[in-house]
Structure 1
């Protein structure tokens, strides 16, 4: 599960940065200065990377056995600027806690 978490963390950061570029630079250029070049190029890159993000989030959610609601919320986090960074931290803490709980030694059976 550690490799799935690493893949998810990496793509969450990349998607977050590209989305911020799109919103902070591309959208003002397109609508304020009538220059859609950044939106046309970065928008397509973000679309592709978001699909990779969805696959990584799905893979991690299946390995961590998350409920459907959590999986969907994590997947939607890549659509709002800055939220993917927050979600990445939350997901990392969830998975780390889950791994720590699973790695505890079994309690002896009183007999």
Structure 2
């Protein structure tokens, strides 16, 4: 099945782009830090990533709050912890309008998450 390269969801500033998978070498044999060693080949499958950072408008539409210090609906949300990001993702994944949109595209099982180090 061919995957759509772009998905526009029924929330503000929520568009996904298909990142084609591939292989690359990750790490650095001569790196300063042990967690960079050894360089090794990594295979990353195709995945979707948001085209834009999570805006304050999107965060507020999902979480009903905006913790940002530098206000502006089109600005990226800030002052969120890793746990705040996980809570946002959990609520976003539970939204019926989002899941229905995925079903209409035959993308059932698709779920939001933070990118891995290799994907980033």
| TM-score of the pair, normalised by structure 2 | 0.26
* Bigger strand fraction: 2
* Bigger helix fraction: 1
Between 1 and 2, higher relative CO (CA 8 Å, sep ≥ 6) is seen in: 1
* Structure with larger Rg: 1
